[in-house]
């Protein structure tokens, strides 16, 4: 087979055999599917010899570039020892070390790590554990969950129930548990000269109205600390998280911090909750924790929760499992990432990288067609004023395609353009990213 024929094949073979995620497959009649055959650093290489700068860390997972030699080596070394063993009745060094490290990163506040594979499963674990904890306290009525408008927590049925993004929920509404939805503290909702902190206070006051009425039936509230990522990168003041902690304590409700997207340094600190100086009762991690290498998710929790399950009867334990719980290769990748954070002073260096990012996208700050320019650490976003969009429905796809033509991968959400690059971009690569997005936007809006 000629290599050209082979190349053509990946896309057509994929379209006939692979059902791609989060995709209306019919759109691939006009939107080209891209076959990636190689990655290196922040760059993806396709089967046509094109190179693409990964501006969104491959769906927010990648931290230290593709084919990172140190993470590759850690996985290879672990592969020589043990690829997988069940975690019930057995343990292994990588899962022990990782759990200890995460506990230390929370200063022991969240000293117990329960493992799963995907982010949504970690959310399911937090929801189930919370309700089960209240049963242990003889409060079985505490079974409702509060979530925020515009929040996203994954797409399995439990996680989707606490998700408030219409397009993901619509078709499945009748399958989902009822939840209470509180206002989002999204700073873009400021009215009449309100600051981000004012919006946060207003949202917290509205939340308290719900909690004061319903707290006897509420197990937990789940939030994405600081940034509702899938909700168009809605950023909010850490004041909201501080108030949330107070309210959860006042009304005996668990706080679940879903840091699946915002954890692992994205916001400038390792955990986004650290910006508010609070710890939740449950903290979920996935995406970046394995450096974007392997499916790994974790629900961290407190001694108090753990001890409530520590009893004589089997059924009083937390009888939840996934086959690949705590996979050693995934844990080895995560340990390699945590080591890179330490040895390379990543959080400190990211301060410079986030300044680079701000400079590279300074053009958008002064463009009259753009509003709500915002940045938190390694995430930068802005909204194109809807009046300038020819067709709001097709804008994300057009922008995605135009950016690819310019050699960068971005994936706008609605009228929000954002970048969330891996922590390996050089200053020049960051400038390249900013310029390519600018050129693509000019084309799409022209």
Shortest reach from residue 60's CB to ligand PLP, in Å: 6
Token pair 């399995």: residue:
156
Per DSSP, 10 falls in state H
Shortest reach from residue 119's CB to ligand PLP, in Å: 2
Q: Which residues in 369-429 belong to E strands, given as ranges?
A: 370-376, 379-384, 408-409, 416-419
| List 39, 55, 154, 396, residue binding ligand PLP (CB under 6 A) | 154
Q: What torsion do the CA atoms of 325, 327, 333, 335 make, to the nearest 10 degrees?
A: 70
Shortest reach from residue 440's CB to ligand PLP, in Å: 24
Shortest reach from residue 287's CB to ligand PLP, in Å: 6
Task: Identify which range of 101-109, 118-126, 239-247, 360-368 contacts ligand PLP by CB under 6 A.
Answer: 118-126
Query: What backbone torsions phi and psi does residue 113 show, to the nearest 5 degrees?
Result: -110, 120
Determine the Cα–Cα distance for residues 411 and 58; give it in Å rounded to an integer: 10
Residues 6+ apart with CB under 8 A from 342: none
Residue 258 near ligand PLP by CB under 6 A: yes
Count residues contacting ligand PLP (CB under 6 A)? Answer: 15
Residue 144 near ligand PLP by CB under 6 A: no
| List 125, 223, 247, 260, residue binding ligand PLP (CB under 6 A) | 260
Alpha carbon 278 to its chain centroid, in Å, reads 19
Shortest reach from residue 302's CB to ligand PLP, in Å: 20
Is 411 a known ligand-binding residue? Answer: yes
Q: Return the number of the residue (53 or 230) whose C-beta is nearest ligand PLP.
A: 230
Instruction: Of 408, 411, 405, 413, give the one whose Cα is nearest residue 431.
Output: 408
Shortest reach from residue 327's CB to ligand PLP, in Å: 14
Tokens, residue 124: 């399911």
Determine the Cα–Cα distance for residues 401 and 408; give it in Å rounded to an integer: 9
Q: Return the number of the residue (187 or 364) whose C-beta is nearest ligand PLP.
A: 187
Burial of 216 (0-12, 13-18, 19+ CB in 10 A): exposed
Output the residue with the shortest Cβ distance to ligand PLP.
119
Task: Identify which range of 28-36, 147-155, 405-413, 433-441 contacts ligand PLP by CB under 6 A.
Answer: 147-155
* Alpha helices per DSSP H over 157-258: 157-161, 166-169, 196-214, 239-250
Is 59 a known ligand-binding residue? Answer: yes
Q: Return the number of the residue (61 or 430) whose C-beta is nearest ligand PLP.
A: 61
Q: Return the number of the residue (43 or 418) whose C-beta is nearest ligand PLP.
A: 418
Residues 6+ apart with CB under 8 A from 286: 118, 119, 122, 260, 295, 296, 297, 298
Shortest reach from residue 227's CB to ligand PLP, in Å: 9
Residue 119 near ligand PLP by CB under 6 A: yes
Calculate the alpha carbon distances from 374 to 186, 196, 379, 416 in Å. Answer: 12, 12, 8, 11
Shortest reach from residue 340's CB to ligand PLP, in Å: 21
Determine the Cα–Cα distance for residues 385 and 308; give it in Å rounded to an integer: 51
Instruction: Of 409, 403, 404, give the one whose Cα is nearest residue 422.
Output: 409
Residue 145 near ligand PLP by CB under 6 A: no
Mark 209-248 with x for binding to ligand PLP (rule: CB under 6 A) and - for no binding.
Answer: ---------------x----xx------------------
Residue 164 near ligand PLP by CB under 6 A: no
Q: Return the number of the residue (8 or 413) whose C-beta is nearest ligand PLP.
A: 413
Q: Which residues bind ligand PLP (CB under 6 A)?
A: 118-120, 123, 152-154, 224, 229-230, 258, 260-261, 286-287
């Amino acid at each position: 087979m000629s290599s050209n024929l082979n190349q053509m094949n990946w896309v057509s073979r994929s379209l006939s055999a692979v059902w791609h995620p989060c995709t209306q497959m019919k759109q691939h009649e006009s939107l080209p599917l891209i076959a990636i055959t190689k990655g290196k650093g922040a760059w993806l290489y396709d089967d046509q010899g094109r190179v693409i700068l990964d501006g969104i860390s491959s769906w927010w997972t990648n931290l230290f570039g593709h084919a990172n030699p140190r993470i590759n080596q850690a996985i290879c070394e672990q592969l020589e020892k043990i690829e997988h063993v069940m975690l019930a009745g057995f343990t292994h060094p990588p899962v022990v070390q990782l759990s200890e490290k995460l506990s230390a990163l929370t200063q022991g506040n969240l000293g117990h790590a329960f493992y799963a594979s995907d982010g949504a499963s970690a959310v399911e674990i937090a929801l189930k554990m919370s309700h089960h904890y209240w049963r242990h306290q003889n409060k079985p009525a505490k079974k409702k969950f509060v979530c925020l408008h515009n929040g996203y927590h994954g797409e399995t049925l439990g996680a989707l129930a606490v998700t408030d993004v219409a397009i993901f929920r619509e078709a499945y509404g009748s399958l989902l548990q009822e939840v209470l939805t509180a206002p989002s503290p999204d700073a873009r909702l400021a009215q009449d000269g309100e600051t981000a902190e004012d919006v946060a206070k207003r949202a917290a006051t509205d939340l308290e109205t719900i909690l004061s009425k319903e707290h006897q039936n509420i197990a937990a509230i789940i939030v994405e600390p600081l940034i509702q990522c899938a909700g168009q990168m809605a950023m909010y003041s850490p004041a909201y998280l501080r108030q949330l902690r107070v309210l959860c304590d006042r009304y005996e409700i668990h706080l679940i911090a879903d840091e699946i997207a915002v954890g692992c340094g994205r916001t400038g600190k390792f955990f986004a909750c650290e910006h508010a100086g609070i710890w939740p009762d449950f903290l979920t991690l996935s995406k970046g924790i394995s450096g974007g290498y392997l499916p790994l998710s974790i629900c961290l929790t407190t001694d108090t929760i753990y001890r409530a399950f520590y009893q004589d009867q089997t059924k009083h334990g937390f009888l939840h499992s996934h086959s690949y719980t705590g996979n050693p290769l995934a844990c080895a990748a995560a340990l390699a990432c945590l080591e890179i954070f330490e040895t390379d002073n990543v959080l400190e260096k990211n301060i410079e990288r986030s300044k680079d990012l701000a400079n590279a996208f300074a053009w958008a700050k002064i463009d009259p067609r753009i509003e709500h320019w915002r940045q938190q650490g390694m995430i930068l976003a802005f909204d194109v004023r809807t009046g300038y969009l020819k067709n709001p429905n097709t804008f994300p796809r057009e922008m995605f395609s135009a950016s690819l033509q310019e050699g960068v991968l971005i994936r706008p959400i609605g009228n929000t353009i954002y970048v969330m690059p891996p922590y390996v971009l050089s200053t020049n690569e960051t400038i390249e990213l900013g310029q390519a997005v600018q050129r693509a936007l000019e084309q799409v809006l022209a």
